Structure formats: C-alpha cells, structure tokens
Amino acid sequence: MVPTFLPGDRLVLAPAWRLRAGEVVVVDDGTRPLVKRVSSLTRSTVTVAGDNSGRVGPLPRSAVLGRVVYRYAPAERAGRVR
C-alpha cells in the first residue's frame, strides 16, 4: 500500500460491518494479513487491491479482519485514515 502506508506503520481497525469501495481494510488471504483497498463488493465476496499492485480476490467477506480507521505510529504520520 505504499505510498499510503509504509512498513512499520501501526494501524487501528474497526469492525467491517458496512464496507464501501475505496475503503482500506485488512484481509486474511490464508497466509498473512494484508492491507488493501476495497475495489468491488458483492453480498458474499470482496475484491481488494493494493495502491500499486494487482487485485486479490474475490475473497469471502469473512476474510476481512477489519476496516482501517487510524494510523497511530509513527507519530509524524499519525492521523485518521480515509
């Protein structure tokens, strides 16, 4: 997700009950958590993509661990995520 997020950024997640295209989420692709942007949604699946990489998915909505709402570290980059 470079340049939006950099390695070492610390993020706060909120529940992902209502997702919209364009929101940043953390998904479990089966091997590790990934920070990606929602590109499309259906009732049961979500497709995500990095800001500089290809699409991932479709994944089941249950693979979404949360919606990124805040970066708390490093301090100079801390703030609300949109």
pTM of the entire predicted model: 0.86
Tens-place pLDDT, residues 29-49: 888 899 999 999 999 999 999
Binned at pLDDT 50, 70 and 90, residue 2 comes out as confident
Distance CA 37, CA 56 (A): 10
Instruction: Let me know if domain 10-67 sits in CATH 2.30.30.
Output: yes
Residue 8's nearest CA partner among 79, 82, 71, 80 is: 71
